Chains A and B, each alone.
Chain A
Amino acid sequence: MRKIGISEIEDIAMGAALLGAGGGGDPYVGKLVAIGAVKECGPVTLLDPDEIPDDVLIMPIAMMGAPTVLAEKGIGGKEYETLYKMVSRFFGREIYALMPIEAGGVNSMLPIAAAARLGLPLVDCDGMGRAFPELQMVTFTIGGLKATPMALTDEKGNSVIFDTITNKWTEELARAVTMSCGGSVSVSLYVMTGGQMKQYGVKNIVTRSQKLGEAIRTVKNSAPLTPEEHFLQFAEGFKLFKGKIADVLRETRGAFNYGKVVLEGIGEYKDRQAFVQFQNENLLASVDGEILATTPDLICLVDTETFSPVTTDALKYGKRVMVVGLKCFEMWRTPAGIELVGPRYFGCDTDYIPLEKRCEGGTANV
């Protein structure tokens, strides 16, 4: 058990932006919501998963909709109380603690605000260990858990509980209501027991985000290592490429940003070429025609000087970036995990081969 205050929030936001693997958007507004809640209601208690009894109820918190709408409307502040009441009434039980559903962008921050406002502890665990674009893409799906009952509320006080036959239906219905409510809503889904959380969740993810954020903030104090060696060491990252952004191709289809960023090598990668393909999050990294990493492993672009993460929204010609691969949570590497979030699901014509295998014998450094 430990406390999360304002300085911890800053580090978690930075680290979660890295774990967002290009997605999740700018955590700025989420950070303000979390800071505002902690200033008003005090620091949040973070519990280790092992501190949670098996039979209690855990309620994940997230926002659904467009980050650009969230940047205008923010959060009202009463949404979390509404969600709490809806969920506890549905189950006829108290909620023991809250948890994030993904590490990345605003959704790493909002559960902290909810925990502060409700006076409930937050569990150091989530359902992705990174960010993914669709609602069913959580480790809990592998465990056979349903997204529903899913509680949804807007800042005006409208609220809905969905009870659906599949997670795909939940996604479809929830998207429609989100648009009617003005494009950005607060939700709770995959409500589960402490035991289920421990069995399927990605543990210690908040702490990992915070440590990554802290390390990026202090990356210059790396002696005797170079900042880059230091970064790769603490992130347990595989250096895949270092280059200058030569082109960014974008296309918006449905609710997603698709695209490809082309890189020209710099430094030891001079005269070499790479590209990274994305759909909100980075999906595939290829160097000189050889695929070095694919989803569900994390492909992160970071600034070559500050090592702060560069999200897919912020890709810009001329920017110098390092492409880093991080190993995904073990459960994503099972056949069920690969079916859910592997390269073929996203339309990449390649099998999933673990990052460390693809990099074996190559030039990538650990």
Chain B
Amino acid sequence: MYKLGIDVGGTNTDAVLLDENLNVVADCKHPTSRDIYEGIMGAIRIILEQSGVDRSQIAQAMLGTTQCTNAIVERKHLAQIGILRIGAPATCAIQPMVDWAEDIQKIAVGNVVIGGGYEYDGKEIAPLDEEAAIAFFREMKEKGIHSIAISCTFSTVRNEQEARAAELCRKIMGEDVHISISSEIGSMGLIERENATILNAALWQVAEGFTEGFAKSLADEGITNADIYLSQNDGTLMTMEHARRYPILTVACGPTNSIRGASYLSHRQNAIILDVGGTTTDLGAIQNGFPRESSVAVTIGGVRTNFRMPDVISIGLGGGSIVRQHDDGSVTVGPDSVGYEITQKALVFGGDTLTATDIAVRLGMADIGDRRLVEGVSPELAAKAMETIRGLVEDAIDAMKLSNEDTDVILVGGGSIILPETLAGAAEVVKPQHFGCANAIGSAISKISGNYEKLINYDVVPRELALAQAKEEAVELAVRAGAIRETVEIIEVEDIPLAYYPGNTNRVKIKAAGDLAE
């Protein structure tokens, strides 16, 4: 049995083949094609040739892709949709999309706020105005719309009204209508949750495109026995069916996969990961084997959302960062870089620009290009530049930490040669093998998860009982998503006391994940 992991990035499509013990059998990089499928086909072909593996033995294939992110950022291929919000008389003063840019507002053909919704304790603000919902769905049907976004106040506490609206929608617009429901997509905060739901609704054609295309490229390469999965941004997988319904969850899966892959390659469950490229370094954190999520609202293509995203920061330091000595003797590195032109511009390649890579070669930390070409760089300058690099990286590592304790640091990416082997704040600095295709590995080894979130008053339901019930719910959600029940573990438990609420109300968030059923 083999697993095939693929990551489609802006420049390269990475592919990796793992055996059943998750050892790397083959890996490759292939240029990404405009239609992405040519790129995937090319990468698969190389992998199969390299490994000589029988295609029929590939049982699982996982894809990580930036298609959804690009569609939103570039405003391309987004579908026309209708937006139904349940919540009047509350919420009416903030109409859907009120702060969206005009060019992306156009995706909404109609939007309406109808009677209904819940209070924080699950009490109804008003009964669902079914007549208004029906009238809206009829109008959308007449206008030829195929996708509807439904949101409701406090639907993360109770979602019956959203479910009922979806039922009415199907009845009127037909079984093949695409329905996005906010309680299944976002967390607390109506506007951010609604925004993510709207984007999800607008992505159905994009999702159909890449899911079918991926399946087709596999089939065309003779990989017909594989179950197909998509990477989502919390480091877990979803089925094709799930990805078609929740394409928004694929957004930003790239950094997530690289964090997960680095964690796997280095056998670390808790660490900070540095992915060093030519121009920038992305830092992420792995916590109990999963990427740490951002705690602040995340903006995608100018739209504010609150769904799960990895906590990633970028700094302007990479292999191509330009090194300068100033009149006062100080030395700076970056943030500007020679970028992809490094093989012409860096000193070690015969160019005339002093880069971070040249410093690493001068100090004997790396053997790239012609080291004689950097002999003219003074040892003092090189040492000062390395101190600057060290300072930048140590500061960034510190900013990623949640406590003062030293943490393991994992280095991946081609530019990681410029970093010293010891860093302040790091318990151990690890440079694993196969670091170049950490992304594709992250995709291939992902688990499948279930997330549960609810407000619970511990005075009504005792904390222990409430958490036990919530954990069961999370496990059920993971199993429903495709995990083997026996392997499902609770990987995150969070309960936050809420100020101002009566009694002892807490927001409980549980995440469970398990191995994929074969």
Interchain CB contact (< 8 A) of A74 among B93, B119, B188, B297 = B93
Chain B residues with Cβ below 8 Å from A244 are 398
By the criterion CB–CB under 8 Å, are B153 and A318 in contact?
no
Tier of interface size on chain B: 35 or more
Q: Given the known inter-chain contacts A35-B98, A73-B153, A182-B119, please indicate yes or no for A155 contacting B399, CB distance below 8 A.
A: no
Chain B interface: which of A14-22, A205-213, A250-258, A350-358? A250-258
* Contact partner, B295, options A39, A157, A182, A316, Cβ 8 Å: A316
Q: Cβ of B91: which chain A residues have Cβ within 8 Å of it?
A: 73-76, 155
Nearest CB on B from A266, distance (A): 9
Distance between B297 CB and nearest chain A CB, rounded to angstroms: 8
A199 CB within 8 Å of chain B: no
Task: Mark contacts of A17-36 with chain B using CB atoms, 8 A cut-off: 1 yes-contact digit, 0 otherwise.
Answer: 00000000000110111011
A319 CB within 8 Å of chain B: yes
A257 touching B499, Cβ below 8 Å: yes
- A72: chain B residues at CB < 8 Å are 120, 153-154, 188-190
B92 pairs with A76, CB closer than 8 A: yes
CA distance A246 to B500 in the complex (A): 27
Within 129-172 of B, Cβ neighbours of A (below 8 Å) are at: 153-154
Task: Indicate if the CB atoms of B188 and A68 lie closer than 8 Å.
Answer: yes
Complex Cα gap A318–B400 (Å): 7
Other-chain contact of B500, A28, A37, A65 (Cβ < 8 Å):
A65
Number of residues on chain A facing chain B (CB within 8 A): 42
- Whether a CB of chain A sits under 8 angstroms from the CB of B58 is no
Within 8 A of A (CB), among B481-511: 497-502
CA distance A31 to B304 in the complex (A): 13
Contact present for B154 and A113 (CB under 8 Å): no
A residues in contact with B92, CB < 8 Å: 74-78, 155
Give Cα A157–Cα B400 distance, bound, in whole angstroms.
47
Residues 242 to 268 of chain A near chain B (Cβ within 8 Å): 244, 246-247, 252, 255-257
B502 lies within 8 A of A179 (CB): yes
**CB-CB < 8 A to A28: which residues of B?**
191, 297, 304
Contacting pair B95 A36 (CB below 8 A)? yes
Kindly state the separation between the CA atoms of A322 and B87 in the bound complex, as whole angstroms: 41
Whether A318 contacts B401 in the complex (CB less than 8 A), given A66-B500, A72-B154, comes out as: yes
Cβ of A183 within 8 Å of any chain B Cβ, yes or no, is yes
Instruction: Give the chain B neighbours of A33 by CB distance below 8 A.
Output: 93-94
The smallest C-beta distance from B259 to any residue of chain A, in angstroms, reads 18
Contact call B120/A182, Cβ cutoff below 8 A: yes
From residue A231, how far is it (CB to closest CB) to chain B in Å? 21
Interfacial chain B residues near A157, Cβ < 8 Å:
89
Any chain A CB within 8 A of the CB of B298?
Answer: no
B93 touches A66 (CB 8 A): no
Task: Say if the beta carbon of A69 comes within 8 Å of chain B.
Answer: yes
Q: With A76-B93, A183-B120 in contact, do A318 and B499 touch (Cβ < 8 Å)? A: no
Q: Is B296 an interface residue (CB 8 A)?
A: yes
- Using Cβ atoms and an 8 Å threshold, which residues of chain B touch A75? 90-94
Partner pick for B98 among A36, A65, A78, CB 8 A cutoff: A36
A341 to B502, CA, bound (A): 26
Q: Are B190 and A76 in contact (CB under 8 A)?
A: no
Instruction: Please indicate the chain A residues that have their CB under 8 angstroms from the CB of B404 in the complex.
Output: 246-247, 317
Asked if A156 is at the interface (CB within 8 A of a chain B CB), the reply is yes
Contact with B along A63-95 (1 / 0, CB 8 A): 001101101111111100000000000000000
Of B90, B154, B190, the contact of A155 (CB 8 Å cutoff): B90
Q: Mark B391-420, 1 if CB is under 8 A from A, else 0.
A: 000000011111110000000000000000
Q: Is residue B428 contacting chain A, with contact meaning CB distance below 8 A?
A: no
B242 at the interface (CB under 8 A from A): no
Does A314 sit at the interface, judged by CB under 8 A?
yes
Closest CB of chain A to B194's CB: distance in Å? Answer: 11
Min Cβ gap A41→B in Å is 11
A318 in contact with B399 (CB, 8 Å): yes
- Kindly list chain A residues whose C-beta atoms are within 8 Å of the C-beta of B126: 156
A113 B93 Cβ-Cβ under 8 A: yes
Instruction: For residue A75, give the distance in angstroms from its CB to the closest CB of chain B.
Output: 4
For B398, the chain A residues whose CB sits under 8 A away are 244, 318
Within 8 A of A (CB), among B71-96: 87-95
Which of B153, B304, B400: most chain A CB closer than 10 A? B153
- Bound CA span A246–B404, Å: 7
Contacting residues of chain B (28-44) with chain A, CB-CB under 8 angstroms? none
Q: Flag whether B20 is at the interface (Cβ < 8 A).
A: no
CB of B94 within 8 A of CB of A74, answer yes
Q: Residue B106 at the A interface, CB < 8 A?
A: no
**Are B191 and A66 closer than 8 Å at their CB atoms?**
no
When C-beta atoms are compared, the residue in chain B nearest to A182 turns out to be B119
Residue on A nearest B396 in the bound complex, by CB: A318
Residues of B close to A78: CB separation below 8 A? 89, 92
| Contact between chains at B119 and A183 (CB < 8 Å) | yes
Please measure, in the bound complex, the distance between the C-alpha atom of A337 and the C-alpha atom of B123, giving whole angstroms.
Answer: 41
10 additional A-B residue pairs with CB within 8 Å, beyond A65-B500, A72-B188, A320-B399: A36-B94, A39-B98, A68-B498, A72-B120, A73-B117, A74-B94, A75-B90, A75-B93, A155-B89, A318-B399
Please list 23 pairs of residues, one from A and one from B, whose beta carbons are closer than 8 Å in the complex, sorted by A's number.
Answer: A28-B297, A28-B304, A29-B94, A32-B98, A35-B98, A36-B98, A65-B500, A66-B120, A69-B500, A72-B120, A73-B125, A74-B87, A74-B91, A74-B94, A75-B90, A76-B88, A78-B92, A156-B125, A247-B404, A252-B497, A316-B295, A317-B404, A318-B401
